[in-house]
Amino acid sequence: MARAIVYTEFGSPDVLHLMEIPDPVAARGEVVVRIEAAGANPIDAKLRSAKRPSPPITEPRPVGFDGAGVVELLGEGVDDFAVGDRVAIRDARGTYASAIAVETEKLAKLPDSVTTAEGAAIGIPAGTAYQSLRSLGVTEGDVLLVHGGSGSVGQAAVQFAVAWGATVIATASPARHDQLRELGAIPVAYGDGLLDRVRDAAPSAVTVALDCAGTDEAIDTSLALVSDRDRIATIVRGPDSASFGIRAFSGGSPVPLTEEELSWRAEALPETIALLDAGDFVIELGPQLPLTEAAQAHELMESGAASGKIILVP
């Protein structure tokens, strides 16, 4: 039997529990992956707590979208993967588990230079950052303001934008400024006076803004600095983004991602792996906890007590 973290009611992290499940079977176009690491993402906790709406629970609900591991079984028609391949997983259902069946389009092979933990940390953060910047048309010559630059999505956005030739200003607590400088950003402390600090730091007019923080301060500063509201987006304030006249990518937005945006999120997985392999991308890893401590992982995420991507290990 395989094992998985599930919940049968919405609530605090305590609703998460480990249960035995039937060993997964690979359908046509799928493989079974033995999970070696699962990435914990804020959306996992939001769904568990019902802060993000989801359908009623009618059976034990699995948790997790990102992971990495080793291919164990091949379904019919699979010829681009082999048993023993190391892979990263994105947009799956239930990666907090010892094994999972996954469609091959949600996988990318991991080279030896990329660790399993790094592979499990790519999917949602890098996919969100990559798609958001593509949607906003970030390119060489832009001055990009990233609110919440020290988070997983923020760090990915900084690195993509710098690689594409943009100047990046990123907000964070002062303790994280050195890290942002190493990624190529100009760090600015959030809090009272943010607008003036960004203006002082910017080498020229800010042309585009991405909100990964969700605060009123972040929205107000973006609106004051960026003249084209179509080049302001949030990944947090989806429900009320329209009231500001700005764009939202997921984050509770009632407007679904387009097919092109979904394809960009998928494209980010192999793109990020290639950058990691070349030494041109960094993923900050946080605590690595046993799968049985999934509740603690969610407590750490919700409290903000841990820096870096939290990884669960079956």
Q: 233: domain CATH number?
A: 3.40.50.720
Q: Report pLDDT digits (tens) over 198-212.
A: 999 999 999 999 999
* pLDDT of amino acid 305: 86
Final residue of a domain: which of 231, 248, 265?
248
Residue 217 lies in a domain: yes
Final residue of a domain: which of 248, 273, 302?
248
Residue 37 lies in a domain: yes
Number of H helices, E strands in the chain: 10, 16
Asked whether residue 204 falls in the same domain as residue 182, the answer is yes
Identify the domain containing residue 172 by its residue range: 125-248
Sequential DSSP letters for 111-166: -TTS-HHHHHTTHHHHHHHHHHHHHHT--TT-EEEEETTTSHHHHHHHHHHHHTT-
Asked whether residue 153 falls in the same domain as residue 82, the answer is no
Provide the pLDDT confidence category of residue 237 given band limits of 50, 70 and 90.
Answer: very high
Final residue of a domain: which of 196, 231, 248?
248
Asked whether residue 154 falls in the same domain as residue 234, the answer is yes
Per the prediction, the chain carries an average pLDDT of 97
* pLDDT of amino acid 213: 97
Provide the pLDDT confidence category of residue 230 given band limits of 50, 70 and 90.
Answer: very high
State whether residue 38 is helix, strand or coil.
strand
Q: Which CATH number goes with the domain that contains 300?
A: 3.90.180.10
Provide the pLDDT confidence category of residue 294 given band limits of 50, 70 and 90.
Answer: very high
The predicted model gives 116-125 an average pLDDT of 98
Residue 253 lies in a domain: no
What is the residue whose two structure tokens read 């400024």? 177
